[in-house]
């Protein structure tokens, strides 16, 4: 069940397909456009990522040797209800 539009399109495209060299396949203009759009999207994503990474202000606090981090030692010893865990 082909519609009239698809039948008309096929009759116009079949002669064009026969003019092509069967041993040579190229991506053509559509392939270039798709590749250019993907390249542009990657460039924009990298530009956005660099902008966001410049905003990050990460400074690790100097840790004293032999001392465990305070947050890990207090939270690790207590359960959900504040009771002490047993291993």
DSSP codes, 22-34: TT----HHHHHHH
For residues 65-87, give the mean pLDDT.
55
User: Where does the pLDDT of residue 25 fall: very low under 50, low under 70, confident under 90, or very high at 90 and above?
Assistant: confident
Q: Which residue has the higher pLDDT, 62 or 14?
A: 62
CA angle 10-12-17, nearest 5°? 80
Structure tokens at 21: 């060299």
Per-residue confidence (pLDDT) for residue 61, from 0 to 100: 79
Q: What is the pTM of this model?
A: 0.42
3-state SS assignment for residue 78:
strand
Q: Looking at the DSSP assignment, which residues form a beta bridge with residue 78?
A: 84
What single DSSP character describes residue 64? P
Structure tokens at 15: 């002669």
Weakest mean pLDDT among 11-15, 22-26, 39-43: 11-15
User: Where does the pLDDT of residue 24 fall: very low under 50, low under 70, confident under 90, or very high at 90 and above?
Assistant: confident
How many whole angstroms separate alpha carbon 56 and alpha carbon 59? Answer: 10
CB 51 within 8 A of CB 45: no
Per-residue confidence (pLDDT) for residue 65, from 0 to 100: 74
């Amino acid at each position: 069940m082909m519609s009239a539009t698809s039948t008309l399109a096929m009759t116009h495209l079949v002669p064009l397909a026969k003019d092509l060299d069967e041993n040579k396949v190229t991506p053509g203009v559509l392939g270039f456009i798709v590749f250019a759009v993907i390249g542009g999207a990657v460039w924009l994503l990298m530009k956005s990522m660099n902008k966001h990474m410049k905003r990050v202000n990460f400074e690790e606090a100097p840790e004293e040797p032999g001392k465990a981090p305070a947050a890990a030692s207090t939270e690790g010893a207590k359960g959900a209800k504040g009771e002490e865990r047993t291993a």
